[in-house]
Amino acid sequence: MPKQPKPIANRIFALRRSAPLTQRELARLIGYNEDGTVGRHERSSALPPFLIALAYEVIFQVPVSELFFGLRDSVEQVVEQRILDLKQSLEQQDARGKYAARNARKLEWIATRRS
């Protein structure tokens, strides 16, 4: 993934405040001994490891993709471009070659995945 030019928006701060939990309490719930890490996650100066992101999901009952909506949007843009690049690459290949049937299935998957 490319580096992000600006902080990634997330909902941790707002959800923690509405809980109402302190950073220290939330840190303990997600398995940390100090509250500084939660603050870094709230400010988007650090991304949590995957298991910690899942812990946030469990605590706040909000999917990770909604907790870190800014990151999800950035990832979506990159991945969609890669899928478009793959599609163009497959379309340029010989339709009669050794992998024609497999490439046709890939193109079909690409065409139907948004349905």
Q: How far apart are CA 114 and CA 4, in angstroms?
A: 26
- How far apart are the two ends of the chain, measured CA to CA in Å? 26
pTM, two decimals, is 0.77
d(CA 115, CA 104): 18
Superfamily designation of domain 12-70: lambda repressor-like DNA-binding domains (1.10.260.40)
pLDDT tens profile 71-88: 888 899 999 999 999 999
The confidence score (pLDDT) of residue 114 equals 76
What residue segments make up the domains of the chain, in order of their start?
12-70, 71-112
The tens digit of pLDDT for each residue in 3-62 reads 555 556 899 999 999 999 999 999 999 999 988 999 999 998 899 999 999 999 999 999
Per the omega criterion (within 30 degrees of 0), is the bond before 20 cis? yes
Contact 7, 44 (CB under 8 A): yes
The secondary structure of 29-92 as a DSSP string is HHT-SSSHHHHHHHTTSSPPPHHHHHHHHHHHT--HHHHTHHHHHHHHHHHHHHHHHHHHHHHH
Tokens 């139907």, residue located: 112
Q: What is the pLDDT of residue 7?
A: 58
